[in-house]
Amino acid sequence: MNKATRYSVVSLFSGCGGLDLGFRGGFTSLGKKYSHHPFDIIWANEINPYACRTYRANVHHQIIEGDIVESFTQLPPCADVVIGGFPCQDISINGKMAGVVEGKRSGLYVWMVNAVKALRPKVFVAENVKALLLSRHAASLRKVVEDFSTIGYDVSFELYDAADYGVPQNRERVIIVGVRKDLNASFTPPRPVTGHGRRITAREALHDLEERDEDVSINHIWSRAKPSSGQGLRFLTADEPATTMRSECHGNIQFHYKLPRRISMREAARLQSFPDDFRFTCGIRQMERMIGNAVPPVFAWHIAQSVLDTLKSAE
């Protein structure tokens, strides 16, 4: 294979760009450098205007803002890879649990199927929540796999914990990968990199910010929400990875393991493995939402590396 070979990527439901940044590579998180990948994002789409603004400032200046239903006609003619985290509100245990068939939001996954059918990429990658594997969602999972299989893809899915891949957060997510059948290639999941259960702790990720005053310029600002019952009363443990960042926390983001406050948006971004130079260009509530919705870039980087291995084996 020509070492200069590059691959085009179309991104759906892009959010603020965590998955896209991981595929692009070329960033530093918690002092570790993640090299550039030979992936070029040629088209991206997201409906949230705040996420689009952040995406343009950090990932790529070109992203189409709007509903995928309306933006679909603007797709390019082809792409090597299609990626996206289709909406999970109807699947998440914190949502209505309606599934992809009856759910209004998660049912949007059909547009990812439509994009794959139209673009005929060599590989597609779809991210979703752990709850997709619950028995009550068996029909939804079967429907997703069948829809992609029918249009010519060998489909596999795997449950990952981002903490196994250098992300200082316990975050379990399902990754669905499809490889075009005519390629005679298969996707091999990336191996965990932490080794012997050694995971990055909250203290390791955040200790240098402990005594830093609020600083809007680096998104080091935090919610003043008082302690409340249920999900609003979660505290980080210093010597363990953080608990899962949620998108709809309404200010009830986790409390710091040491300080008498909730964690800042920069601290939340660190726990999601965003580089420190990644700036969220919106208010605190929108930051909470987009950080909680994001795919951790470091985890995405490892998925991208395995996709690259698949593409190389196909050639």
Catalytic positions: 88
Enumerate the H helices of the chain as residue ranges: 18-24, 49-58, 68-71, 99-102, 109-119, 138-150, 202-206, 265-271, 284-293, 297-314
Is 14 buried (19+), middle (13-18) or exposed (0-12) by CB count in 10 A? buried
**Angle formed at CA 87 by CA 83 and CA 92, multiple of 5 degrees:** 125
Whether the CB-CB separation of 164 and 193 falls below 8 Å is answered with yes
Q: How far apart are CA 141 and CA 68, in angstroms?
A: 22
Residue 289, token pair as written in the block: 């939402």
Using DSSP, state whether 72 is helix, strand or coil.
helix
List Cβ neighbours of 309 (8 Å cut-off, separation of 6 or more).
Answer: 188
